[in-house]
Structure 1
Amino acid sequence: MSRRTVTAALAALALAGIAGCGDGKPAAAPSASASASPTASPVVAGPPWYDEVAPVEAAGELGGKASPCPMGIIFSVPAKWRAEAVTAGRDAAIGDAVPVCEIDAKPAGHLGFLRVWDADAGLSQQYTMDKFLDANGDVTDRQYRRTKAGPLDAFEATWVGPDGTRERALLVSTIWGRYLLTLGGADDEEHRAMLPAYQLAKRTAKNNRE
């Protein structure tokens, strides 16, 4: 190939690169405040995600064979939170999510629950989460993001329920299927007070390999 031909080819590639850059402005970062579609997982202090909240100290693990709720997911729980298996099955399902465990915060001085649901419907994370939220009534201010629960891939949502209280859910993908962890409190103050327990569950989640 002649030097003139090589030079022409390089010039064409350079022009193509310039055209691909558009106006030269950097792409906008995804909004940390939310929308109908999930963003990557930015760190967001304050409402609605409160990522600055540190997890409370762990007092034990839930999900193993010897725990009150044997499940395909294991995570740590704080002191005094009382776990109990839910055996109502599909009769108590919300959307495609079937409750399997309820962790009561009342013994720790809070009015609310951390609940675990079997949500392995074989559908997309967005569909599964939306079906759960749709079944909860007239919810508003839905916000989503992709995130991690321990080392596991997860899909997180926050919304305002029909009673005006902020709620939270985490759909975790395990080797045994998907589990949905939800946090609900009597009001926004209780919701924020229980976030350290939710953060503990989120950061310590792992596959049950027993």
Structure 2
Amino acid sequence: MPERARAMRTAVPAALVAAAGLLLTACGTTPKPDAPAAGATPQRSAAAKAAATLGGPGSACALPVSFALAEGWEPKTVKDPENPEFAALTRQGPAVVRCEVDAKPAGNIGYLRVWTAPEGPARAALEGFVRAEKGSSAVAFRETRAGALPATEVTYSVRDKEERAFAVATPEGTVIVHLGGLDTDEHRAMLPAYELAKSTTQAG
């Protein structure tokens, strides 16, 4: 048999064997999980660990309610919030900010802020609070509980950034606890601290 024909007959089976090997390898390979799609909602972090109580006797802020603070979050009383010169920073609708809890020491960029409004229905105060937030949209209210107290909660967006708050009525006025954040990712990362505060809220 001529050398050229012998070479061709040898080469063809070799090529088929190689192709079959590649096919078997591809079929037998376990595909890697797909990466999360851009913009997908991340899974919520584990429950936050309580490290202190805010609002009670001897705490950083005197409030009509008290609740647990997540580990690493640092509270600070807002000084002179009733001063009209600072109204643009300390007032939102019917509410005045009383306390800021900074998340930076815990590794996030944002605040849990506590506001008070005159005595009245919690929902009415919360509606006025959200209406006063420029650019708010996708507003959704629901009746819930904060600890053992009846509460109204709202979720909404401000320029595509998620925000939320809950409000409870007390004999000393309505208390609004609001969670913002630098952006939606930061907001979602801080939700365990917000949920801890909501689930442990109590009067006095």
TM bracket (short chain): 0.7 to 0.9
CA shift at 1:175, angstroms?
Answer: 4.0
- Give the alignment of 1:1-210 within 5 angstroms: 55-90=47-82, 91=87, 92-119=90-117, 121-161=118-158, 163-208=159-204
Structure 1 window deviating more from structure 2 (90-99 vs 108-117): it is: 90-99
- Structure 1 runs (4+) deviating above 4 angstroms are none
Provide the aligned C-alpha RMSD in A: 1.9
Q: Following the alignment from structure 2 to structure 1, what is the Cα–Cα distance between the partners of residues 133 and 96?
A: 13
TM-score by length of 1: 0.70
Contact 2:121 2:169 in 1 (8 A): no
Amino acid at match of 2:79: T
CA shift at 1:124, angstroms?
Answer: 3.3
Contact 1:63 1:70 in 2 (8 A): yes
Query: Secondary structure of the residue that 2:193 maps to in structure 1?
Result: helix
Q: Percent identity?
A: 39
Amino acid at match of 2:52: G
Query: Secondary structure of the residue that 2:92 maps to in structure 1?
Result: coil
Amino acid at match of 2:164: R
Amino acid at match of 2:188: R
| CA gap 1:54/1:148 in 2 versus in 1, 3 angstroms | farther
Q: Following the alignment from structure 2 to structure 1, what is the Cα–Cα distance between the partners of residues 200 and 132?
A: 28
Unaligned runs of 5+ in 1: 1-45
Compare the two structures and name the one with the higher helix fraction.
2
Compare the two structures and name the one with the higher strand fraction.
2
> If you compute each CA radius of gyration, which structure gives the higher value, 1 or 2?
2
TM-score by length of 2: 0.72
